[in-house]
Amino acid sequence: MAATVRKSKDTSRPPIVVVLGHIDHGKSTLLDYIRSANSVASEAGGITQRLCAYVVEHRTKDGEIKKITFLDTPGHEAFQKMRLRGAILADIAILVVSAEDGVMPQTLDALTSIRAARIPYLVAINKIDKPGADIERTKAGLVENEIYLEGMGGDVSAVPISAKTGAGVDELLDVLLLAAALAELTGDPTASASGAVIESHLDPRRGAEATLLIKDGTLRQGQYVAAGGVYAPVRLMEDWSGKQIVAASLSEPVSVVGWSEAPAVGLAFSAAENKKAAQA
C-alpha cells in the first residue's frame, strides 16, 4: 500500500509587528495613529483597546486589504523580557527615529534587541513636520551607527513620516507588508492553537486573565489552554476591542479568563480538547 502523503494546510499569516525606539521619538503617537486610522470604529463611536496588542486592516496602494497585528509594548524592555523567555513573537520590527534628534542611546538599545531577535526591521524617520527636521542628516546618523539603508550601502528601508499628521504612514505600512511577503510568514489554521502569553493579571471581578497571541492554529470556545503548568477553559474569549468571540486564528491576540492562576508573560501556550489533556 502506498504511503499517505499529508498535504500541507499552511496559509499566509498576517505579520506581527513591534515598534521600538527612543521614548520621545513618537513611538506611541505612531501606534495611536495607525490604530485610529486603520480600525473600524465600534457602534458606540469609539475604539476601545483592551489588550496589549491589536489588529488593523490596511488598504495597500494596490487596493488590497491586509491585516497587521501590532504589539503595543511599553518599550524595548518588555520586548527584551519576552525575548529572554524565548518567546520571539514579533515577525518584523519598526525602529522609530526622530528627524529632529537623530540616533539616541535608546535607539541603539532597541536596535540591539531587534538584532538579537534576528527579525527583519525597517526605519520610520518620524517628526518630518517639525521645523528642525533633517531627513538626510538622520539617515547619515543611522549609517554611522551601522544601520545601512537602501541606497546608502545596505538594504534597510527607511520611510520619512509624521506620526502626528499621518504623512508617509500609508507608505510605511506598504513597505512593512512587502517585508512580510518576503519573510513568507505562514501558519496552519486547521491545527491546534499555539503561541505565547503576552500579558497576564488578576482581575478583581473576573479572576486570572491572560492575553494570548496565536502564532499557529485556531483557538475555539469549548477548548482548554495550558501554559507552564497552569490552564484555563476557553469559555469567555475576547478580541483586542473587548468583543466576545467564539474562535481566533493566525496572528490574533485574544483574552482568556478563568486560569487556575495567572500564567507568566512569555510562556508558550497550547490548546487542548479537554481539562485532562490541559492538566497533562
pLDDT digits (tens, 9 = 90+) for 105-148: 989 988 988 888 889 999 999 999 999 999 999 999 999 999 99
pTM of the prediction? 0.88
Burial class (CB in 10 A: 0-12, 13-18, 19+), 255: buried
Q: What is the mean pLDDT of residues 4-18?
A: 77
48 alpha carbon, distance to own chain's centre: 17
Q: Which of 4-13, 23-32, 191-200 has the lowest mean pLDDT?
A: 4-13
pLDDT band per the 50, 70, 90 thresholds, residue 78: low
- Residue 82's pLDDT is 58
- Residue 8's pLDDT is 56
Q: Which of 72-76, 191-195, 238-242 has the lowest mean pLDDT?
A: 72-76
Q: Residues for the chain: how many in total? A: 280
d(CA 13, CA 10): 9
| Partners of 37 in the β-ladder | none
Q: What is the mean pLDDT of residues 14-40?
A: 87
pLDDT band per the 50, 70, 90 thresholds, residue 2: very low
- Residue 88's pLDDT is 65
Residue 225 has pLDDT above 70, yes or no: yes
| Partners of 16 in the β-ladder | 69
Q: What is the mean pLDDT of residues 58-79?
A: 80
Tell me phi and psi for residue 65, to 5 degrees: -100, 120
- Ramachandran region of residue 40, left (φ > 0), alpha (ψ -120 to 50) or beta? beta
- The H or E element spanning position 201 is strand 194-203
Contact 266, 200 (CB under 8 A): no
First to last CA, the chain: 36
DSSP string covering 238-261, please? E-TTS-B-SEE-TT-EEEEE--SS
pLDDT digits (tens, 9 = 90+) for 151-196: 998 999 999 999 999 999 999 999 999 999 999 999 999 999 999 9
Collapsing DSSP to helix, strand or coil, 15 comes out as coil
